[in-house]
Amino acid sequence: MPATVFIAASLDGFIARPNGAIDWLPPPAGDEDYGFGPFMAGVEALVMGRHTFETALSFGGWQYGKRLVIVLSSRPMDFTALQGANVEQMSGEPAEIIATLAARGIHELYVDGGITIQRFLRAACIDRIIITRIPILLGAGIPLFGTLPRDLPLRHITTKSFPSGLVQSEYVPALPK
């Protein structure tokens, strides 16, 4: 099953401030969604960590409609307040999570959240990375990438720039899984 990362990062590679705040992200420029709408149209399920889930809840209103959202956490979670949302909790290794979802008929997966992305990358379970660079230097924060057991060469697919100054690049792993 293809697993894709679609994320924004500061020019120095952070996805949030040290305290998890994302107040530095610019508001959408007019009708421009930087390709997120078309991307989400092809996504059947999202996998995110607990912290990313809690951040998404702070946006006010459920952003994912009826799409399946898997929250990774080893601690019990209560989703009863999310009426109408299709949210489940899982834990385990990335390959196990993907296999479980594939067995349920899921074909397109969106992986979100710093720790979750790093875990899936270490397990060689990411098939595509789309990064939108925000022209700001934070100097410190939660990094998009962490340690890897080996180099992960990437093949550049495309890069787009937007009038707002954001630059979006797409990559795929250059090594077979």
Q: Which residues contact 65 (CB under 8 A, 6 or more apart)?
A: none
- Cα–Cα distance, 19 to 142 (Å, whole number): 8
Could you give the C-alpha distances from 135 to 9, 10, 121, 162, in angstroms and in order? 9, 6, 25, 11
**Contact status, residue 117 vs residue 7, Cβ threshold 8 Å:** yes
Higher pLDDT, 58 or 124: 124
For 135-163, what is each residue's pLDDT tens digit? 999 999 999 998 888 889 999 999 999 99
pLDDT band at 79 (very low <50, low <70, confident <90, very high): confident
3-23+33-173 CATH choice from 3.40.50.2300, 1.10.8.640, 3.40.430.10, 2.30.110.10 = 3.40.430.10
